[in-house]
Structure 1
Amino acid sequence: MNKVMAIAAVAIVAAIGISAFALMSSESGEVTINVQQPEAEKPAIVEEEISILDTNSSFSAPTTIAQSMMAAQPAPNVTIGDDGKIYVLYQDTVDEKTNIFLKTSTDNGQTFSESVRVNLIDGNVALDGRVAPTIQLGDNGEVYVAWANSRYEPNMFMGNYRQLIFTSSLDDGKTFEPSITIGADELHSGKYFQHMSIDGHGGIHMAWLDGPTKMNSTGYMEKDKSRDRGVRYTQSLDGGITFDTTKLIDANACPCCNVQTAADGEGSVYVSWRKVFGSGDTQVRDMVVAASTDGGKTFGAPVKIYDDGFQFKGCVHVGAPMAIDSVGTLHVAWYTGATERQGMYYASSTDNGQSFSEPMPILTGDWVPPQRIFITVDNDDTVWLTWEDATGLSTNDKSWRYGDTQALIFTAQVIDGELIRSDNPINENDAKSLTNIDSDSGLVSIVWTETDNSVKITTAEN
């Protein structure tokens, strides 16, 4: 079974030393919000002595997997099988139709197979550079993929209504089965910012942000305010043939920040999201984790990873990816925009998510715009992190918004509580979309999209 991996997607514009940022949401209905950060309240850059990871000698030169000629934000994802086979998933758009494609490599990412289209219905994919399609592997040649589609609904925010789609391949990704819609026989709801994990026994676990809807008298969807929106979860124990009735985990979730999942073979299932505490302009949006110790049947109350106190009335479109090591330790990385501790952090939990270690700073400074950080654990239980750094690379020096991403991509290891960080970025040109990382069979692979719409990969043997 491949190790659990964590993924997500984002597009960002940032500038060093700016004093305000604007946020745009997807299906939440929230409006653009400007937040001022007075000069006197800006924290000093955290200076630390950090060991250096030599990526020039350990990671291969970036290889182009796919090239899109359109501004499609291909949003790649990667996973690695027990035999070292690398699977890369990406989106592409042709003639205004977006599809998902899979390519594989059996030579450590030097060359890749011809692409296989994952979705059988042409165009049945929502183009979204923030949320990559999720890919997971079974023990007997199964490949599982989950994503969101979209259809036009004039009464919904920006006219989009999204559903969660799942498909599987039973022949190692050569062909894919007809897709199914998660929760299709339940009350209408939009589903977005989704994630999927697989446990050590082949159980499939999904969570997402859910927005209840109903059909109005004109035959179109509209919000159903009589039902709670928030984080919902489902699982399949038969390889995705059927899924359990979905259940609400939390009703006070940030309506457009990525949900993440992680699961092991010992009954532990974790869901993370950005939870809303309080209301109005003084509300706090900090990252939380809810844990299940019975394989996802029940979940405990959400626990803050850290009391960041990120006071903000808006969405930053970034979550808290997680990974579990061989002894059951939960590892997590996240972003906070809290005034006194702005940036990216790492922490771990040895008690099934009931408490977390003191945060380790990964990227902090005067101005750290909302960006993605990702995490995986290799066969030696070394924690690997990779993240986007858009500081000073903005084309708009006044705001942060979805789109027009420019970023450098860095990576690091956490070994015995020490951060060993790359001194140089792994990408040759500015990244445009998200970065993803996974490890298994002595390999670590990182994928990303560059500003020319090419999907790149680099791989290291560890």
Structure 2
Amino acid sequence: MNKILVLVVVTLVIAVGVSAFALTSSNTDVFTSIIQEPVVLEGKISILDTNPFSAPLTIAQSMKVAQPAPNVTIGDDGKIYVLYQDTVNEQTNIFLKTSTDNGESFSDPVRVNLLDNNVALDGRVAPTIQLGDDGEVYVTWANSRYEPNMFMGNYRQLVFTQSFNDGKSFEPSIIIGAEELHSGKYFQHMSVDDHGGIHMAWLDGPAKMNSTGYMEKDKSRDSGVKYTQSLDGGMTFETTKLIDADACPCCNVQTAADGEGNVYISWRKVFGSGDTQVRDMVVASSTDSGKTFSGPVKIHDDGFQFKGCVHVGAPMAIDSEGTLHVAWYTGATERQGMYYATSTDNGQSFSDPMPILTGDWVPPQRIFITVDNTDTVWLTWEDATGLSTNEEVWRYGDTQALIFTAQVIDGELIRSNSPINLSDAKSLTNIDSDNGLVSIVWTETDNSIKISTAEN
């Protein structure tokens, strides 16, 4: 298998826990699997000695408290929006900074959440930011409150807010599913389609109030992946719907949507039970703007046997031709690493996986993807190969890494051997592109938020 020779390293912050979800699962429903072996496309890989990204710029700095999981999005006018968390006096809030000069400088911060400390500080799940067509800025995140009977003593809800003046100020927030039965919500993601429809998915853990006035797990209802949408700019959201009841309980859910009615949700699905259970990445697709979804389709039949969580998902992007692009991590025997694939039939099947980073031991790491305005695919990932403190334990630990990038142009992977960060990163959290720009954000070990931008 193809293996990167540069041994590098990444830090991931494991923040406070999530709502209750058992680590075992029932037998799976019917699913679709495209069985194929990963291929090393030796003739389609080019190596660059440099990278096209600018020197890292500091967005924010905290000397005492980690600032995990920033996020970035770019408007069609080239304006860059960076979302980040900051904790002062033990209160965590979300802030937005913007740039109109290709990431060379940024505005003063605008606080997003109006309620103090209404944010769960978590290095695994970045607050999501998306844009509308008329100055709308949409943000969603999870909050947390102490519930002693819930897993790790935390009960999380999804919070949503919007700005109608391009992020200069934000409206009072709402709680997703507030009128429904109690449930913890986490590992969330949000997308906005070309018509302004807002699509949101997450891992859901049903809960109920017990006789002592505290929440506890509600075993009478299914846990799993849930979805909702808003067709009025986030003023209201539809009743949430269960997409799948056999999901890995702490791997990120991802979404993608276009202007043709296609909506995609990806997650790590549990197949089987016990020590032989398999946890592979799947995609459910909708061709009617989220009204109905297909059953889960395996991106690849990796056969990752593992009874636990690796805290990584499968980010997706859609190009101008409607092709779905996806990147993911697997710890499967003989194919450990990160891969990239495409679907040209609305998620019904996927291409042979292209290896991005593989080896005999590749610890769980994050990879992100975007498609620019020329339909060039951009990938960025953490590389901790050979230096992870995880040894061979399948979960995030206190590791460190460098961040690498690649492009896929006409099926050819063009990979840079030069990292974009100058020192060790804690958490790589997103990449986005528009109007000839591509930006990547991450957190450094000195608790600074960094951004690097390339012109395509």
Stretches (4+) displaced over 6 A:
none
2-side partners of 1:332 and 1:112: how far apart?
Answer: 30
Q: Secondary structure at the match of 1:341?
A: coil
Q: Secondary structure at the match of 1:158?
A: helix
Q: Are 2:182 and 1:198 aligned?
A: no
Q: Are 2:277 and 1:279 aligned?
A: no
Q: Which runs of 5+ in 1 are unaligned?
A: 1-9, 14-21, 33-44
Q: Secondary structure at the match of 2:334?
A: helix
Q: Specify the alignment match of 2:369 in structure 1.
A: 375
Q: Are 2:389 and 1:391 aligned?
A: no
Deviation at 1:70, TM superposition (A): 2.7
* Equivalent position to 1:27, from 16, 19, 25: 19
Deviation at 1:124, TM superposition (A): 0.2
Note if contact 1:204-1:240 (Cα within 8 Å) is conserved in structure 2: yes
Note if contact 1:410-1:426 (Cα within 8 Å) is conserved in structure 2: yes
Q: Are 2:325 and 1:331 aligned?
A: yes
2-side partners of 1:64 and 1:438: how far apart?
Answer: 18
* Equivalent position to 1:365, from 359, 366, 385: 359
Q: Deviations over 1:80-120 (max 9, x none)?
A: 00110000001111111111110000111110000011000
Q: Are 2:252 and 1:269 aligned?
A: no
Q: Deviations over 1:364-421 (max 9, x none)?
A: 0011000000000000000000000112333564645445241110000011111100
One-letter code aligned to 1:325 = D
1-side partners of 2:434 and 2:46: how far apart?
Answer: 24
Query: In angstroms, what is the RMSD of aligned CA positions?
Result: 2.0
Note if contact 1:194-1:206 (Cα within 8 Å) is conserved in structure 2: yes
1-side partners of 2:136 and 2:49: how far apart?
Answer: 35
Map 1:233-244 → 2, pairs under 5 A: 233-244=227-238
Map 1:19-418 → 2, pairs under 5 A: 26-28=18-20, 48=42, 50-53=45-48, 55-56=50-51, 58-395=52-389, 397=391, 399=393, 401-418=395-412
Q: Specify whether residues 90 and 55 from structure 1 end up closer, same or farther in structure 2 by C-alpha distance, changes over 3 A only.
A: farther
Q: Which runs of 5+ in 2 are unaligned?
A: 1-9, 25-38
Q: Specify the alignment match of 1:429 in structure 2.
A: 423
Q: Deviations over 1:401-457 (max 9, x none)?
A: 445241110000011111100111110001001231000000011111110111111
Deviation at 1:54, TM superposition (A): 5.3
1-side partners of 2:235 and 2:399: how far apart?
Answer: 38
2-side partners of 1:280 and 1:221: how far apart?
Answer: 28
Taking only the aligned residue pairs, the percentage that are identical comes to: 85
Q: Are 2:433 and 1:447 aligned?
A: no
Deviation at 1:26, TM superposition (A): 3.7
Note if contact 2:142-2:159 (Cα within 8 Å) is conserved in structure 1: yes
Q: Normalized against structure 2, the TM-score is what?
A: 0.91
Q: Specify whether residues 214 and 30 from structure 1 end up closer, same or farther in structure 2 by C-alpha distance, changes over 3 A only.
A: closer
Q: Specify whether residues 146 and 218 from structure 1 end up closer, same or farther in structure 2 by C-alpha distance, changes over 3 A only.
A: same
Q: Specify whether residues 106 and 55 from structure 1 end up closer, same or farther in structure 2 by C-alpha distance, changes over 3 A only.
A: farther
* Corresponding residue pairs, total: 431
Q: Specify whether residues 117 and 25 from structure 1 end up closer, same or farther in structure 2 by C-alpha distance, changes over 3 A only.
A: closer
Note if contact 1:130-1:434 (Cα within 8 Å) is conserved in structure 2: no
Q: Secondary structure at the match of 2:432?
A: strand
Deviation at 1:11, TM superposition (A): 5.5
Q: Specify whether residues 143 and 71 from structure 1 end up closer, same or farther in structure 2 by C-alpha distance, changes over 3 A only.
A: same
Q: Secondary structure at the match of 1:339?
A: coil
Note if contact 1:405-1:433 (Cα within 8 Å) is conserved in structure 2: no
One-letter code aligned to 2:313 = G
Q: Deviations over 1:203-238 (max 9, x none)?
A: 000000000000000000000000000000000000
Deviation at 1:179, TM superposition (A): 0.2
2-side partners of 1:245 and 1:256: how far apart?
Answer: 23
Note if contact 1:306-1:356 (Cα within 8 Å) is conserved in structure 2: yes
One-letter code aligned to 1:202 = G
Q: Deviations over 1:267-311 (max 9, x none)?
A: 000000000000110000000000000000000111000000001
Note if contact 1:12-1:390 (Cα within 8 Å) is conserved in structure 2: no
Note if contact 1:215-1:221 (Cα within 8 Å) is conserved in structure 2: yes
Deviation at 1:326, TM superposition (A): 0.2
Q: Secondary structure at the match of 1:281?
A: helix
One-letter code aligned to 2:46 = S
Q: Specify the alignment match of 1:42 in structure 2.
A: none
Q: Specify whether residues 53 and 200 from structure 1 end up closer, same or farther in structure 2 by C-alpha distance, changes over 3 A only.
A: farther
Note if contact 2:11-2:401 (Cα within 8 Å) is conserved in structure 1: no
Note if contact 2:18-2:155 (Cα within 8 Å) is conserved in structure 1: no
Q: Specify the alignment match of 2:27 in structure 1.
A: none
Q: Specify the alignment match of 1:41 in structure 2.
A: none
Note if contact 1:72-1:127 (Cα within 8 Å) is conserved in structure 2: no
